[in-house]
Amino acid sequence: MKFNPVLEKLTPYRAGPALDDIRRRYQLDSVAMLSANEVPWGPFPEVVDALKTVLDGLNRYPDGACNRLRSLVAERLGVSERNLVFGNGSCELLMLLGQAFLSPEQHAVIPHPSFVMYRLIALAHGAPFSAVPLKNLDYDLEAMLAAIRDDTSLVIICNPNNPTGSYLEPAALRAFFDQIPKDTVIVLDEAYVEFVTSPDWEESAAWLKDYPNLVILRTFSKIYGLAGLRIGYGIADPPVVEALDKIRQPFNVDTLAQVAAVESFRRPARVEERRQQIAAERVRVAARLDEMGIRYHASEANFLLVDVTDLGIPGPEVAQALLERGILTRSGYAMDCPGWLRVTLGEAQEGDLFLSAIDELKQSDAGRMPARVVNGLSAESLSPES
Ligand SMILES: Cc1ncc(COP(=O)(O)O)c(C=O)c1O
């Protein structure tokens, strides 16, 4: 068969097994799922109620233009409805951006390490790309600018960055945008923006008038607790939105996702409550790590990147040792962040489980036992690549 040659460079996404599987294999009563940067809470209660009311209508196709959500988002962000495009998760929008702007003749600049999809969209479209290393886990914007070539059509930046949690303040971002050629699209992935509490934060949608080449991506998967429904949106200049509309499926966002997003978006007070709760947990966990003498990277997101090089076991084995204690995290060794481990923050009870396990590994020589691998399942193979 004549497969597209770009496929040779790609491997399928390997989803982790179900929590029940992990529980059974490691004989655990429960597993703290701290590996995929989801919130531990479900959708808002009003969302669940609204979803029940539309189940009987699922014989009909969804609204292909997401009109209700479109007008709500446009009004809140102060943009035109023509500035918005909706996707089956922001991952779909990234794929569409790849289709619209990347090819063997169109180069991309992406940060590294950062979200795994950026590399994937370049590879999937046979596009050359420069993965610009972070400097001390923060962006090296000078190096990203230096990597831009005449054929660069896409520059991606994730703020706060996954997996480091690093946050770029508005002035630095805008100074960076100022130096990017006007015919190069800038993708600003703000999957974690709702968790930011930095006082200098600005609504980036307002920057669109200064940067028509800017595409902002947001998702309902994180703070809104809707990762299972798959819906995200992009804010961009109409020609970019029109390009993505040309290549997306007509009904790419299903009815349940639209209803859930509308009900969620109408409840900023609930979002604020979650933001404050996660921020308090971030401060609390950081303070405990300080007490233990364990380093972490400053984060404005719902996760922390923690230094695992000074525990009782070698760094690469820490995620596995935590898993055996019922805590699923994401090893930095699987994300080109050796020496670090990413832990999602949510409920204090789960945060405490993580902290006590880390403390135990730091204090005790028992932690020096090599990590167990049960039935070929290891922490590396269990963590979804979020
Ligand atoms: C930086 C970043 N962007 C996008 C996404 C994907 O979001 P969605 O669930 O909307 O596809 C994630 C998911 O973890 C992410 O970390």
The pLDDT tens digits of the residues spanning 112-164 come to: 999 999 999 999 999 999 999 999 999 999 999 999 999 999 999 999 999 99
199's CB contacts (< 8 A; 6+ apart) are none
Domain ranges of the chain: 5-42+270-382, 46-266
Measured N-to-C along each axis, helices 238-247 and 90-101 cross at an angle, to the nearest 10 degrees, of 100
Q: What is the pLDDT of residue 288?
A: 98
The structure's pTM equals 0.94
For ligand 1, pick from 86, 92, 115 the residue to mutate: most ligand atoms within 8 Å of CB: 115
pLDDT for 378 beyond 90: no
The ligand 1 atom at the shortest distance from the C-alpha of residue 232 is 10
Q: Which residue has the higher pLDDT, 51 or 369?
A: 51
* Region 12-18 average pLDDT: 76
Domains 5-42+270-382 and 46-266 share a fold: no
Q: What is the pLDDT of residue 18?
A: 81
* Region 311-317 average pLDDT: 93
* Region 90-107 average pLDDT: 98
* Region 21-26 average pLDDT: 90
Q: How many whole angstroms from 221 Cα to the centroid of ligand 1?
A: 7
CATH 1.10.1060.10 fits 5-42+270-382, yes or no: no
Q: How many whole angstroms from 219 Cα to the centroid of ligand 1?
A: 7
Which residue's C-alpha comes closest to atom 2 of ligand 1?
Answer: 191
pLDDT for 17 beyond 90: no
pLDDT for 368 beyond 70: no
For ligand 1, pick from 85, 110, 162, 335 the residue to mutate: most ligand atoms within 8 Å of CB: 162
372: confidence class by pLDDT, cuts 50, 70, 90: very low
For ligand 1, pick from 33, 88, 91, 220 the residue to mutate: most ligand atoms within 8 Å of CB: 91
- For the chain, how many residues are written? 386
Q: How many whole angstroms from 90 Cα to the centroid of ligand 1?
A: 6
- φ/ψ bin of 265: left (φ > 0), alpha (ψ from -120 to 50), beta (otherwise): alpha
Q: How many whole angstroms from 115 Cα to the centroid of ligand 1?
A: 8
Share of the chain above pLDDT 70, in %: 94
Q: What is the CATH number of domain 46-266?
A: 3.40.640.10
Q: Which residue has the higher pLDDT, 91 or 381?
A: 91
* Region 1-28 average pLDDT: 87
* Region 162-172 average pLDDT: 98
> Could you give the 3-state DSSP secondary structure of residue 111?
strand
385: confidence class by pLDDT, cuts 50, 70, 90: low
The ligand 1 atom at the shortest distance from the C-alpha of residue 92 is 11
Asked if residue 160 has a cis previous peptide bond (ω within 30° of 0), the answer is: yes
> Could you give the 3-state DSSP secondary structure of residue 187?
strand
Q: Which residue has the higher pLDDT, 205 or 365?
A: 205
14: confidence class by pLDDT, cuts 50, 70, 90: confident
Q: How many whole angstroms from 165 Cα to the centroid of ligand 1?
A: 13
SS3 content of the chain, % helix, strand, coil (to 5): 45, 15, 40
pLDDT for 383 beyond 50: no
The ligand 1 atom at the shortest distance from the C-alpha of residue 219 is 10
Q: Do 56 and 350 contact (CB within 8 A), yes or no?
A: no
Q: Which residue has the higher pLDDT, 371 or 356?
A: 356
| Residue ranges around ligand 1 (CB below 6 Å) | 37, 89-91, 115, 158, 162, 189, 191, 219, 221, 227, 232, 386
The ligand 1 atom at the shortest distance from the C-alpha of residue 87 is 10
376: confidence class by pLDDT, cuts 50, 70, 90: very low
Q: Do 153 and 100 contact (CB within 8 A), yes or no?
A: no
The ligand 1 atom at the shortest distance from the C-alpha of residue 37 is 14
pLDDT for 366 beyond 80: no
Which residue's C-alpha comes closest to atom 14 of ligand 1?
Answer: 386
Which residue's C-alpha comes closest to atom 7 of ligand 1?
Answer: 90
pLDDT for 15 beyond 80: no
Q: What is the pLDDT of residue 374?
A: 41
Which residue's C-alpha comes closest to atom 3 of ligand 1?
Answer: 191
pLDDT in tens, 320-337: 999 999 999 999 999 999
Q: Do 102 and 110 contact (CB within 8 A), yes or no?
A: no
Backbone angles phi, psi at 332, to 5 degrees: -65, -25
Q: What is the pLDDT of residue 386?
A: 60
187: confidence class by pLDDT, cuts 50, 70, 90: very high
Q: How many whole angstroms from 38 Cα to the centroid of ligand 1?
A: 10
Share of the chain above pLDDT 90, in %: 89
pLDDT for 367 beyond 70: no
Range scoring the smallest mean pLDDT among 180-194, 208-222, 289-303, 359-373: 359-373
What integer best gives the mean pLDDT of the chain? 94
Distance CA 295, CA 298 (A): 10
For ligand 1, pick from 97, 221, 335 the residue to mutate: most ligand atoms within 8 Å of CB: 221
Q: How many whole angstroms from 232 Cα to the centroid of ligand 1?
A: 9
The ligand 1 atom at the shortest distance from the C-alpha of residue 36 is 14
Q: What is the DSSP letter of 375?
A: T
